[in-house]
């Protein structure tokens, strides 16, 4: 969704307040959002809110009143990679169906070359009225995508169909539209991400520089293919773009293993991208170790469980496990050795010798191996693109040919 141009049309309904959340989700995912509001929409949510969230002045009139500046609906229609009208009232739906171009939003809609997504929102009787039903059918026949309203309590307190679909769902429809296909539909994907922190005392830990960016990019890429994704993540600040990614936060390797064990059985794919600390202090002190009173010079360490090896060791037929290897030397041999030792199907190798690869950066350069050898050697690319490629390799993986 990064860099995509989205025209978000808002019409005058109570659900207009949800457009703020929708705009935020698009912006967070890296899209550029231009809001177009009907005059009635401004009674429900202010242009100030929408322009603050999108970083762009809201367009509502054909002219700016004091300067006479003309807002070109044609330019906007051409700029858009997608147009989303949420909420779409019965009146705006009727105007769109019949081309009644009496406001900026409808003219933009009529000029749009990009696909249009319409999320109706109205009371149940208006929704069920034959004219609304027919208008929606007309809009569908013109190739528009209707994001059907949900059933539930409406602003009138009546219960029925007419409630605008939740922003997260609308975002998901667009996300999938811009992204890939549905190869992972109905499949569960488990991903470990980030570092682990192994407590020394309440204020100190053993950790590493992993930021979790790769793991979360993989989660977004898997959701885009229709998967149900859970990330078990160590302490990180990154968040997934997609609201459907479930994130379980843990601190230590033992906690990460425990959370993964609960979910591994039903996962079709498990991707171990976490940088798990190899060792943990044998005892975490319950109060802060004081320099003045402690003569601690040596930390007694114990080996952490190997999450990838433990879980891959008990995988059932059809389950696919993928590990990562971050190497500094003898890369290929080490990576392939890890693949065998941990019983993985695939291993993603990134070499710290490659500039722009590894911890913290926004790019990565990886190659992917199966037990038969090299499957792909990818050039340097953004972690998002890299994640998409890795997910493509996973979905296309056939153990008998690769
Ligand atoms: O052995 P090494 O740490 O290099 O292996 C890296 C791979 O194993 C990664 O996929 C990492 O997530 C996984 N791993 C793990 N638990 C550990 C150590 C590594 O899951 N304790």
As a dihedral over the C-alpha atoms of residue 305, residue 244, residue 241, residue 116, rounded to 10 degrees, the angle is: 160
Token pair listed for 229: 């994704």
Number of structural domains (the chain) is: 2
Please state the atom number of ligand 1 nearest to the C-alpha of residue 348: 10
User: Does residue 233 sit in the same domain as residue 174?
Assistant: no
* Integer Cα distance of 262 and 153 in angstroms: 35
Most ligand 1 atoms within 8 A of CB, residue of 214, 259, 276, 305 to mutate: 276
- 66 occurs within a structural domain: yes
φ and ψ of 147, to 5 deg: -95, 100
Element (H, E) at 289: none
- Local structure of residue 365 (DSSP, 8 states): -
Pocket test for ligand 1, best of 272, 314, 336 (most atoms within 8 A of CB): 272
Does residue 318 lie in a domain region? yes
3-state secondary structure of 254: helix
Four-residue CA torsion sign, 178, 179, 180, 182: negative
- Whether 98 has a pLDDT exceeding 90, the answer reads yes
Residues 134, 202, single domain; the answer is no
Q: To test ligand 1's pocket by mutation, which of 254, 260, 308, 329 has the most ligand atoms within 8 angstroms of CB?
A: 308
144 with 208, same domain? no
pLDDT at res. 354: 73
State whether 199 and 345 are in the same domain.
yes
CA 343, CA 109: separation in Å to the nearest integer? 54
Tell me which of 179, 204, 232 is where a domain ends: 179
> Residue 363: inside a domain, yes or no?
yes
Q: Is the pLDDT of residue 180 over 70?
A: no
Question: Is residue 175 domain-shared with residue 291, that is, in the same domain?
Answer: no
Q: Report the alpha-carbon distance of residue 95 to residue 113 in Å, rounded.
A: 18
Confidence of residue 156 (pLDDT cuts 50, 70, 90): confident
CATH of the domain at 377: 3.40.50.10300
Task: For residues 134 and 200, state if they share a domain.
Answer: no
Displacement of CA 288 from its chain's centroid (Å): 38
What average pLDDT does the segment 28-44 reach? 95
Last residue in a domain, options 119, 148, 179:
179
CA 261 to chain centre: 24
- CB count in 10 Å sphere of residue 55: 9
**82 compared with 360, residue with greater pLDDT:** 82
Average pLDDT, the chain: 91
Residue 63 DSSP one-character state: B
The least confident of 7-16, 50-59, 292-301 is: 292-301
- Domain identity same for 214 and 247: yes
Q: Under DSSP, is residue 233 helix (H, G, I), strand (E, B) or coil?
A: strand
Work out whether strand 346-351 and strand 366-370 pair parallel, antiparallel, or are unpaired. Answer: antiparallel
Joined tokens for residue 178: 């811009």
Specify the residue with its C-alpha closest to ligand 1, atom 5: 325
Higher per-residue confidence, 179 vs 319 = 319
Q: Is the pLDDT of residue 401 over 70?
A: no
Q: Considering the domain boundaries, does residue 402 fall inside one?
A: no
pLDDT above 70 as % of the chain: 97
CA distances from 294 to 285, 288, 302 (A): 12, 10, 21
More confident residue, 354 or 97: 97
401 in a structural domain: no
Q: How far apart are CA 199 and CA 195, in angstroms?
A: 13
Smallest CA separation from ligand 1 atom 21, residue: 306
- From ligand 1's centre to the CA of 338, what distance in Å? 9
- Give the pLDDT of residue 179: 72
Q: Kindly state whether residues 203 and 312 are assigned to the same domain.
A: yes
208 is catalytic: yes
Give the pLDDT score at 181.
Answer: 67
3-state secondary structure string across 142-201: CCCEECCCEEEECCCCCEEEEECCCHHHHHHHHHHHHCCCCCCCCCEEEEEECECCEEEE
- Please tell me whether residues 170 and 232 are part of one structural domain: no
Same domain for 160 and 216? no
Centre a 10 Å sphere on the Cβ of residue 63 and count the other Cβ atoms it contains.
11
Index of the ligand 1 atom closest to the CA of residue 324: 10
Quote the percentage of the chain above a pLDDT of 90: 71
Q: Which of 159, 179, 199 is the last residue of a domain?
A: 179
Measured between alpha carbons, how far is 129 from 136 in angstroms, rounded to an integer?
11
CA distances from 70 to 37, 52, 65, 75, 371 (A): 16, 22, 10, 11, 62
Spatial neighbors of 293 by CB under 8 A, at least 6 apart, are: none
* Lowest-pLDDT choice from 59-68, 113-122, 308-317, 339-348: 59-68
Residue 319 lies in a domain: yes
Residue 21's domain is classified under what CATH number?
Answer: 3.40.50.1950
232 or 402, which is more confident: 232
Question: Which range among 40-54, 81-95, 292-306 shows the weakest confidence by mean pLDDT?
Answer: 292-306
Residue from 208, 330, 334, 350 carrying the catalytic annotation: 208
192 CA: nearest ligand 1 atom = 12
Query: Which range of residues forms the domain containing residue 169?
Result: 5-179
Query: In this structure, is residue 71 part of a structural domain?
Result: yes
Q: What is the mean pLDDT of residues 129-149?
A: 94
User: Would you give the distance in Å from CA 312 to the centre of its chain?
Assistant: 26
- Tokens found for residue 297: 């010079």
Q: Look-up: residue for tokens 């340097």?
A: 380
Q: Is the dihedral of CA 60, 65, 68, 69 positive or negative?
A: negative
Whole-number Å distance between alpha carbons of 337 and 341: 6
The more confidently predicted of residues 149 and 281 is 281
Confidence of residue 349 (pLDDT cuts 50, 70, 90): very high
Residues 123 and 196 in one domain: no
Instruction: Give the position, in ligand 1's atom list, of the atom nearest the Cα of 311.
Output: 20
Encoded tokens for 326: 């971050």
Residue 18 falls inside a structural domain: yes
- Helices then strands, counting H and E runs in the chain, come out as 13, 21
300: left (phi over 0), alpha (psi -120 to 50) or beta: beta
Q: Where residue 38 falls among pLDDT bands split at 50, 70, 90? A: very high
Same domain, 19 and 158: yes
Angle between helices 130-141 and 90-98 (to 10 degrees): 50
The pTM for the full model equals 0.74
Ligand 1 pocket at CB < 6 A: 192, 253, 272-274, 276, 304, 306-308, 323-325, 338
């Amino acid at each position: 969704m990064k860099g995509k141009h989205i025209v978000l049309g808002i019409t005058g309904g109570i659900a207009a307040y949800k457009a703020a959340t929708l705009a935020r989700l698009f912006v967070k995912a890296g899209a550029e959002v231009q809001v177009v509001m009907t005059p009635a929409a401004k009674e429900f949510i202010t242009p100030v809110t929408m322009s603050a969230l999108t970083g762009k002045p809201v367009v509502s009139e054909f002219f700016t009143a004091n300067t006479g500046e003309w807002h070109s609906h044609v330019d906007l229609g051409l700029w858009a990679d997608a147009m989303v009208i949420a909420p779409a009232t019965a009146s705006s739906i009727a105007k769109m169906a019949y081309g009644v171009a009496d406001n900026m939003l409808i003219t933009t809609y009529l000029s749009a070359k990009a696909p249009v997504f319409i999320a109706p929102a109205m009371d149940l009787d208006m929704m069920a009225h034959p004219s609304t039903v027919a208008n929606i059918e007309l809009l569908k026949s013109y190739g528009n995508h209707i994001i059907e309203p949900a059933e539930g309590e409406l602003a009138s307190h009546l219960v029925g169909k007419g409630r605008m679909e939740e922003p997260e769902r609308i975002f998901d429809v667009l996300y999938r539209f811009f992204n890939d296909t549905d190869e992972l539909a109905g499949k569960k994907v488990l991903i470990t991400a980030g570092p682990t922190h192994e407590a020394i005392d309440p204020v100190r830990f053993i950790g590493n520089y992993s930021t979790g960016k790769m793991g979360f990019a993989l989660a977004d890429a898997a959701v885009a293919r229709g998967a149900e994704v859970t990330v078990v993540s160590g302490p990180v600040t990154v968040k997934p773009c997609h609201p459907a990614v479930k994130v379980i936060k843990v601190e230590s390797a033992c906690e990460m293993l425990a959370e993964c064990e609960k979910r591994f059985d039903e996962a079709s794919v498990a991707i171990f991208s976490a940088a798990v600390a190899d060792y943990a202090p044998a005892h975490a002190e319950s109060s802060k170790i004081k320099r003045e009173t402690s003569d601690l010079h040596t930390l007694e360490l114990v080996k952490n469980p190997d999450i990838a090896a433990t879980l891959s060791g008990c995988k059932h037929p059809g389950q696919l496990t993928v590990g990562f290897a971050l190497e500094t030397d003898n890369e290929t041999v080490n990576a392939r050795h890890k693949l065998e030792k941990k019983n993985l199907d695939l291993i993603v190798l990134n070499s710290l010798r490659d500039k722009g690869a590894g911890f913290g950066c926004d790019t990565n350069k990886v190659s992917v191996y199966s037990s038969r050898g090299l499957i792909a050697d990818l050039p340097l690319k953004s972690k998002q693109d890299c994640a998409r490629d890795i997910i493509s390799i996973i979905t296309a993986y056939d153990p008998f040919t690769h």
